[in-house]
Structure 1
């Protein structure tokens, strides 16, 4: 027969609640809207001073503190542009609350199409069925021409694409293009290709040598930007689950190799709709082991990033 033993709860030692440290008290709780102030700043201040809400405030404060003083690097996945956040990125660039943009090829394509044609984002499932997905003639022809020209001129991909767009006669999306804004504001933009992963690579005019040369130059340029994160800068990974975290990690080790271990003591924040291994390890954790702080904020891009951008712009506007 099996013998069962039970713990004797009558012997348990309890402690007075007054002696127990509490992590939550009434001063940290959320507040409802007040009729006297319904501004965005009031909304932000009314969030609970707990967990992700407090992390959000911290990231905002670090960006505001770094604006105009240290590097603030925004790394972009394609969805960030596709869901309409370009105008907010541009506003931050104009206030030097973003000092460099590093985007994957998908983000560059969406931005280029918005600028040149006024629209982007096709129905992938429908096009895949008959083999027309990604086969837009003008997108592939023009972007590949820009990259070929850029390779010959010893340019990076971001510089080549922004220069091409600036010379284009018809630009229905001029005001919402991050590529064009980078040229106008003097904020460097780099584009990091993954060969075979972007629709312009399946176009008849695709030139692997030009794509590789311009993207590799932009890798060098990103590595040249990162030392300015040292001592208070901010890097934001916005919606890139694999490519930009991998590029950032390698660019960071190049920067530290060439600059005596710098940059250190910066804020690294990953913002995405779900949490992934590479952004957590390659952006948030490993780069800040030598100093600084890493944060993950999780939510839909079209909701989360506007909160960050509006909060930063509100504080800078004071």
Structure 2
């Protein structure tokens, strides 16, 4: 006998114009805007590796990012790297796609969790839930999550579509994929959420992502602030790509990885091996997965501590300056 399930038809869904937004689109910085000072010795070699990957080797440069990267206004810097062909694939989690969509639609995003969870209203906003219908329609056309949402943002001419990573990815033909966890995102609360369509869309994106990873030899993998989805999706995709490469007598071993996050790790730390299990940092997945294990056969890795509103634009501007 099936267990009792929550009745979503009882939910009260309100329009976004009744939500108090913590962030508006003015946070997005253009390439000419001043940015906070920031320095790190790894930025220059990473920028050189990105340019070499694209201009010398025609290899994959994949940037995976958490939702805070979008919330802190880095979209236009990411789009410029996309336009120049310097990043060939962008990947995010479900929340990253929701912030992108809300910026595109209303020029604002981010609600007070403390306020709205107390009221029982957190995440229950009509326009945000529209993403569920967009994804379902995209699945019917054989699209993944990122392309389906990007298509809607671009073809429906949402007011801020040219500041949307997903919208510009669709317009420019650059893969932008979305890697969800069931129950992780506000749109999963909504009555129109279709678990089958949601899973199909994100799994399609996983296969698109894995295809990009097949081109990672001599390439670069950048992970900005994604402590779980970033390393875990990358790990499985790399296993699949290497499995096929080994059968073909090829290798995916010589590439650069870089993790950009807030955790304080000394600059001279040895990333060639994961910390011991007695060290709490062992459970920081980006270290053992991205910085150590997956580059052990010939790659190199860097860890850069810093806020995303500093690290993303500084790296992007160094890459663009080198490519002139």
**TM-score after normalising by structure 1:** 0.80
* Equivalence map 1:181-196=2 (5 Å): 181-196=168-183
Deviation at 1:238, TM superposition (A): 0.8
In the alignment, which residue of structure 2 is the partner of 1:233? Answer: 219
Q: Contact (CA 8 Å) 1:104, 1:191: kept in 2 or not?
A: yes
Q: Contact (CA 8 Å) 1:255, 1:262: kept in 2 or not?
A: no
Q: Contact (CA 8 Å) 2:154, 2:168: kept in 1 or not?
A: no
Q: How many residue pairs were aligned?
A: 266
Tell me the C-alpha RMSD between the 2 structures. Answer: 1.7
- Aligned to 2:151, which of 163, 174, 194? 163
Deviation at 1:67, TM superposition (A): 2.5
Q: Which has the larger radius of gyration?
A: 1
**TM-score after normalising by structure 2:** 0.79
SS of 1:229's partner is: coil
2:190 is equivalent to residue 203 of structure 1: yes
Q: Contact (CA 8 Å) 2:154, 2:171: kept in 1 or not?
A: no
Runs of 4+ in 1 over 2 A off after TM superposition: none
Q: Which runs of 5+ in 1 are unaligned?
A: 1-39, 48-52
- Aligned to 1:298, which of 291, 300, 305? 305
Deviation at 1:86, TM superposition (A): 0.6
In the alignment, which residue of structure 2 is the partner of 1:243? Answer: 229
Deviation at 1:54, TM superposition (A): 2.8
SS of 1:67's partner is: helix
Shift in CA distance, 285/126, structure 1 to aligned 2, threshold 3 Å? same
In the alignment, which residue of structure 2 is the partner of 1:220? Answer: 207
Q: Contact (CA 8 Å) 2:66, 2:92: kept in 1 or not?
A: yes
Deviation at 1:105, TM superposition (A): 0.6
Aligned equivalents of 1:118, 1:305: Cα separation in 2: 21
Q: Deviations over 1:186-216 (max 9, x none)?
A: 2111110111000110011000000001111
Deviation at 1:233, TM superposition (A): 0.4
In the alignment, which residue of structure 2 is the partner of 1:64? Answer: 51
Q: Contact (CA 8 Å) 1:99, 1:188: kept in 2 or not?
A: yes
Q: Deviations over 1:97-129 (max 9, x none)?
A: 110011111111111111122111111111111
Q: Deviations over 1:246-290 (max 9, x none)?
A: 111001101111121632200010001226611111212111011
Shift in CA distance, 161/262, structure 1 to aligned 2, threshold 3 Å? farther
In the alignment, which residue of structure 2 is the partner of 1:121? Answer: 110
In the alignment, which residue of structure 1 is the partner of 2:22? Answer: none
Q: Deviations over 1:53-75 (max 9, x none)?
A: 33221111111212342110000
Aligned equivalents of 2:289, 2:101: Cα separation in 1: 28
* Equivalence map 1:2-41=2 (5 Å): none
Higher relative contact order (CA 8 A, sep 6+): 2
Q: Which runs of 5+ in 2 are unaligned?
A: 1-33, 265-280
Q: Contact (CA 8 Å) 1:67, 1:95: kept in 2 or not?
A: no
In the alignment, which residue of structure 2 is the partner of 1:82? Answer: 71
Aligned equivalents of 1:157, 1:259: Cα separation in 2: 27
